Amino acid sequence: MTDDTIRLLLADDHPVVRAGLRAVLEAESDLSVVGEAATAREAVDRAAEGGVDVVLMDLQFGRGMGGAEATALITGRVGAPRVLIVTTYDSDADTLPAIEAGATGYILKDAPPEDLAAAVRTAAAGRTTLAPTVADRLMDRLRVPGASLTRRETEVLSLVAEGLSNHAIGDRLHLTEGTVKSHLARIYAKLNVDSRTAAVASATDLGLIRR
């Protein structure tokens, strides 16, 4: 390993995925995997130890902390490594929390190996790389801001999609039932729909929530 080598931490709960990422990345002479984490918490702890330039972070880890929360904890430290999200999910419900948490880039797991390596180098340099579908969706949000949902609205509608009642959503998100109804009213107005079912269908089609 040389001084120019980019040191990587792989954070994913699937050993096969980590092995695949390691094989692809270590085929590049300037990239070196210095650690792996099977949980988001492990990723946070390992990143805090230092000696890592870029964390390749999945978003879904089953139970416990998710990738977006781990990203916020990692990037919140002084001198923190960059975080590059590597996931299968590209809906607003996934991308926005990760980007808000401080992720430098966002790439999908089906990206070609050369794109993944390039994204790592870009992240290490402090520049942003976004998967084309993610970039397109963010541009659409900027062009038509009225059709976009806030993070809280996305959370509410995602729970509606799971079949939860307003009361249950309120309990889950620590909101009053009236507040949940207010969020739904704004969601209906933004999506130009008049029912929970139509809101879920429209938001799914627009990629605002994941089903």
Show contacts of 37-42: CB within 8 Å, 24+ apart: 37/9, 37/10, 37/11, 37/12, 38/12, 38/13, 39/13, 39/64, 39/65, 40/11, 40/64, 40/65, 40/66, 40/67, 40/69, 40/70, 41/65, 41/70, 42/11
Residue pLDDT tens, the chain, 211 long: 667 899 999 999 999 999 999 999 999 999 999 999 999 999 999 999 999 999 999 998 977 889 999 999 999 998 899 999 999 887 777 787 888 889 999 999 999 999 999 999 999 999 998 888 788 777 766 655 556 788 888 889 999 999 999 999 999 999 999 999 999 999 998 888 999 999 999 888 877 887 6
Residue 150 confidence (pLDDT): 81
pTM: 0.71
Q: How far apart are CA 18 and CA 71, in angstroms?
A: 18
Could you give all domains of the chain from N- to C-terminal order, each with its CATH number?
6-140 (3.40.50.2300), 145-205 (1.10.10.10)
Residue 142 confidence (pLDDT): 61
Q: H helices then E strands: how many in the chain? A: 10, 6
Residue 143 confidence (pLDDT): 59
